[in-house]
């Protein structure tokens, strides 16, 4: 590089090369150097590009990487969502330095916008932001070429360094006995995946056998031979992690939520969006088992599927544990369009059960009461505050078209409001109610419940509620629901 620069400067100085041509040659040289230079930190974490504003790592992907070349959705190369987990883990481990022996644990993970590799390379950044609670917030983002454009956040979550904890152990033999309804080869599932638009190359065909049980599947995973040489480069190998998520689709296929494996009809894929908790005990191994079952409160038929996934070794020792992994079954036509595949990735819905309001309930008084109206275009905050005493009401609205972008904006707003409430360290009881519509797309904003759950864990005096309303309900009926639910904090 130094010799090249010296040559260029000499040519400019001797008037044999214009400044504009020199700049073009330098850029071309740097781009080629990026493509030819091996990663310096980690396959998903190439350079430390931190400055005074943030702790940051930057990676440049060309599309030739196995986790991109063999992960194609409707003709477009996508960075697997599972790879984002390894990227976050590696970034926190690198930033920890001397504490690198500690295990990284993640929570409240969201995939807001897929990372798509077009006809040129793409730079992806991950920023780390320490919080007062001891957790580290992270964002995986890119920056558009146009000057002044805001960053695009693809994934975000919270991380913490944990001391080593004893890994749980599963009884593989007992699980095989429970999952004996049927046993299917991977080829049957990969044919179904392809019909849904998921074109997996050899590096992402890690499913060997799938054993089906009641509301659970046990999958045998192998590291594909084509990427066997990369096994020591990752703690969470993208091929194995993505295959574990593929196993979650197998569960939904067998429950008829998406296209059954033996159907000739184009199916409806389930796309990842959120993960409540993620814990790493050991590195992934070349052969593993993945146990996928429904999370507590989740059941077949729910539009938003919430699952728990364990990856373990042949002895049953859990290496990776995922809780509250959520996938949304796409809507609309039987086949998945390119647009919905790339941009329709939001999901997360708890299982709600109706309960009659008791005639007499204990009165609950709150020192602070926050009501958040999520895209309630016909209802204003004032129409709520005029009918209720001692509350603060705000409305979430965004001009952005994509639901992923809107959700990202609302998450940031709700997070700031809750953070301000918790910062006051009030001894009074606090109630936060988020009002969302029953309309299909807006049902996806149930993902905001994850913020409420986290806030309740940090401050037991805070109660969080998601209030569901019909589009035609007026402010009077909404106020009645808010008041009734405020007296049922445990519902």
- Give the per-residue pLDDT at 40: 73
Higher-pLDDT residue of 4, 78:
78
Euclidean distance between CA atoms 246 and 95, whole angstroms = 31
Cα torsion 271, 274, 277, 279: sign:
positive
- Is it the case that residue 413 has pLDDT exceeding 80? yes
Residue 242 appears among annotated catalytic residues:
yes
- Give the per-residue pLDDT at 74: 81
Higher-pLDDT residue of 455, 375:
375
Euclidean distance between CA atoms 338 and 199, whole angstroms = 13
Confidence of residue 141 (pLDDT cuts 50, 70, 90): very high
Token digits of residue 58 = 């930057």
- Give the per-residue pLDDT at 424: 75
Residue 237 appears among annotated catalytic residues:
no
- Is it the case that residue 261 has pLDDT exceeding 50? no
Confidence of residue 59 (pLDDT cuts 50, 70, 90): very high
- Give the per-residue pLDDT at 22: 60
Q: Which of 71, 237, 343, 369 is catalytic?
A: 71
Token digits of residue 53 = 């504003």
DSSP single-letter state for residue 45 = B
Q: Which of 159-163, 287-291, 388-392, 458-462 has the highest mean pLDDT?
A: 287-291
- Give the per-residue pLDDT at 225: 93
- Give the per-residue pLDDT at 53: 80
Tens of pLDDT, residue by residue over 13-38, are: 777 666 666 655 554 544 444 444 45
pTM exceeding 0.75: no
- Is it the case that residue 9 has pLDDT exceeding 70? no
Tell me the mean pLDDT in the region 464-488: 89
Single out the residue of 270, 289, 412 nearest to residue 345, CA to CA: 270
Interacting residues of 126 by C-beta distance below 8 A, sequence separation 6+: 45, 56, 57, 87, 88, 91, 138, 139, 140, 141
Query: For 56, phi and psi rounded to 5 degrees?
Result: -145, 145
Indicate the burial class of 94 (C-beta count within 10 angstroms; 0-12, 13-18, 19 or more).
Answer: middle
* Least confidently predicted of 290-299, 398-407, 461-470, 476-485: 398-407
Query: For 155, phi and psi rounded to 5 degrees?
Result: -150, 150
- Give the per-residue pLDDT at 66: 94
- Give the per-residue pLDDT at 426: 74
Over the chain, what is the mean pLDDT? 80
CA 46 to chain centre: 22
Tens of pLDDT, residue by residue over 184-226, are: 778 888 888 888 888 999 999 999 999 989 889 999 999 999 9
* Least confidently predicted of 83-97, 168-182, 189-203, 446-460: 446-460
- Give the per-residue pLDDT at 260: 44
Tell me the mean pLDDT in the region 45-54: 87
Q: Is 4 left (phi over 0), alpha (psi -120 to 50) or beta?
A: alpha
- The answer to whether 454 and 277 are in contact (CB under 8 A) is no
Give the number of other CB atoms < 10 A from CB of residue 130.
11
- Is it the case that residue 340 has pLDDT exceeding 80? no
- Is it the case that residue 391 has pLDDT exceeding 80? yes
Q: Which of 242, 308, 310, 313 is catalytic?
A: 242
Tell me the mean pLDDT in the region 382-399: 90
Tell me the mean pLDDT in the region 96-124: 81
Tell me the mean pLDDT in the region 29-56: 72
């Amino acid at each position: 590089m130094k010799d090249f620069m010296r040559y260029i400067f000499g040519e400019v100085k001797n008037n044999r090369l214009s400044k504009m041509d020199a700049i073009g040659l330098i850029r071309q040289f740097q781009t080629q150097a990026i493509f030819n230079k091996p990663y310096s930190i980690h396959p998903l974490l190439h350079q430390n590009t931190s400055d005074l504003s943030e702790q940051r790592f930057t990676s440049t992907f060309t599309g030739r990487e196995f986790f991109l070349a063999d992960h194609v959705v409707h003709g477009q190369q996508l960075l697997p969502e599972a790879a984002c987990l390894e990227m976050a883990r590696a970034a926190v481990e690198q930033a920890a330095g001397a504490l690198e022996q500690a295990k990284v644990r993640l929570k409240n993970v969201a995939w807001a916008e897929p990372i798509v590799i077009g006809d040129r390379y793409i730079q992806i950044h991950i920023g780390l932001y320490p919080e007062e609670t001891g957790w580290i917030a992270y964002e995986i983002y890119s920056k558009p070429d146009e000057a002044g454009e805001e960053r695009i956040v693809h994934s975000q979550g919270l991380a913490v360094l944990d001391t080593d904890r004893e890994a749980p152990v599963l009884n593989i033999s007992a699980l095989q006995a429970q999952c004996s309804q049927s046993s299917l080869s991977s080829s049957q599932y990969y044919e179904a995946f392809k019909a849904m638009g998921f074109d997996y190359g050899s590096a992402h065909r890690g499913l060997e056998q799938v054993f089906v049980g009641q509301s659970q599947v046990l999958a045998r995973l192998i590291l594909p031979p084509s990427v066997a040489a990369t096994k020591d480069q990752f703690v969470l190998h993208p091929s194995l992690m993505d295959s574990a998520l593929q196993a979650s689709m197998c569960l939904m296929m067998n429950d008829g939520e998406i296209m059954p494996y033996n159907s000739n009809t184009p199916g409806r894929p389930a796309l990842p969006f959120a993960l409540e908790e993620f814990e790493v005990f050991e590195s992934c191994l070349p052969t593993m088992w993945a146990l996928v079952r429904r999370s507590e409160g989740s059941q077949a038929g729910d539009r938003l599927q919430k699952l728990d996934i364990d990856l373990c070794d042949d002895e049953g020792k859990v290496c990776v544990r995922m809780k509250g992994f959520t996938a949304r079954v796409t809507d609309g036509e039987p086949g998945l369009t390119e647009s919905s595949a790339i941009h329709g990735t939001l999901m997360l819905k708890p299982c709600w059960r109706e309960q009659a309001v008791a005639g007499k309930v204990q009165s609950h008084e709150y020192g602070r009461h926050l009501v958040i109206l999520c895209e309630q275009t016909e209802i204003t905050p004032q129409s709520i505050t005029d009918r209720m005493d001692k509350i603060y009401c705000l409305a979430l609205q965004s001009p952005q078209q994509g639901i992923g972008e809107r959700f990202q904006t609302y998450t940031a707003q709700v997070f700031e409001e809750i953070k301000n409430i918790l910062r006051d360290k009030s001894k009074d009881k606090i109630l936060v109610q988020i009002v969302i519509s029953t309309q299909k797309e807006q049902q996806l904003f149930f993902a905001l419940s994850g913020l409420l759950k986290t806030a309740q864990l940090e401050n037991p005096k805070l109660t969080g509620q998601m209030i569901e309303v019909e589009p035609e309900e007026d402010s009077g009926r909404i106020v009645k629901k808010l008041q009734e639910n405020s007296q049922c904090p445990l519902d």
